[in-house]
Amino acid sequence: MIVLNIIFYIFGIIIPSVIILLSVFVYKKNIKRNTLISVIIFLLFYILKVGGYNLMFKNKVTKDNDNVAKETINTNTEENNEESIEEENIENSNENDVKENIEDNKSNNNTNNNSSNNNTSNKNNNEVTTKPNNVSNNENSKVEYIDGVPYIDGLIIVNKTYELPKDYVPKNTYKEAGSAEYCSTCLDIDTYENFQMMKSDALALGLNLWIQSGYRSYTLQQKLYNNYVSRDGVEAADRYSARPGHSEHQTGFAFDLNTITDSFQYTDEGKWVNENAYKYGFILRYPKEKESITGYKYEPWHLRYVGKDLATILYNNGNWITLEEYYNLTSTYSN
């Protein structure tokens, strides 16, 4: 805009004025012709100036409209994907028989591996150790609560037995969560950076990965869960949606990939993620035939960051082991 003004003043006003002045006071001839030329020059540059303003304004409006459209599309995409979760989960109502043999000694044998890889949790020194009412007497005694957050071997553990406080917001995140209800980049820094590496390596193979659903606040999870219960009832909703405080999305260590439907497992991206996510510290949190252990149906799109060492152990050469199995934990609501 400043450049247009400068050009207009120089070529549209100053130069025509000089031509007229020279014609009148210096050369004293061709005054009418030079005056006409000067007026034409002035009008030409004035038109160019106005046209430039209009073009700049139009581009600005277009850009603003594009931004608004993108925000609207993102919002609608999230809502549509939440609907796809509901529809797909309702269709898959048949449960598989689950193996319940738990390897009790794995926790003790691999404590050092876990400790070195799970520095992604933010602790402080004010420890308050409690135990939920629905934990059996032989439940793993290593679970401890720090400021109301359940940890085991430095790893935040969240399932139907163990829950987060209502006001819990993850710290040390790539983008600050603050009061946001939903944010795809408000993830633990290690979680987000390792995802970016995984995404880059996948892209080199022609595969496209993106975070469809990242951090969710307690409040948002409550809204989602209540909507599912209103439509499908508690029993059905509990199979595919976490109750508020029991969602891993609130931790900042978990996210959903791409299309949040069972069909994701059959895509090239889904197959690659299942076989390679552990190399970047991620686990398939709710594997096949583990619903009676995790409390949730199979979710090929849901990843949880636990660190590369523990992820490699839980990958188990493609036969995923759950956190509940590895740490000898329950995952059941108290009511």
Q: How many residues does the chain have?
A: 335
The per-residue pLDDT for range 180-223, each reduced to its tens digit, is: 999 999 999 999 999 999 999 999 999 999 999 999 999 999 99
| Structural domain boundaries in the chain | 2-78, 106-327
> Who contacts 267 (Cβ-Cβ below 8 Å, separation ≥6)?
258, 259
Give the orientation angle of helix 218-232 with respect to helix 31-91, to 10 degrees.
Answer: 60
Contacts by 218-227, CB closer than 8 A, 24 or more apart: 218/164, 218/166, 218/167, 218/168, 218/244, 218/245, 218/250, 219/181, 219/244, 220/181, 220/182, 221/245, 221/247, 221/249, 221/250, 224/82
The per-residue pLDDT for range 22-67, each reduced to its tens digit, is: 766 666 666 777 677 767 877 776 776 666 655 554 554 444 444 4
Span 307-324, mean pLDDT? Answer: 96
Q: Is pLDDT above 60 for 175?
A: yes
Alpha carbon distance 66, 335 (integer Å):
48
Q: Is pLDDT above 70 for 120?
A: no
Q: What percent of the chain has pLDDT over 70?
A: 64
pTM of the model: 0.62
Alpha carbon distance 216, 219 (integer Å):
8
Mean pLDDT score of the chain: 78
Q: Which CATH class is domain 106-327?
A: alpha beta
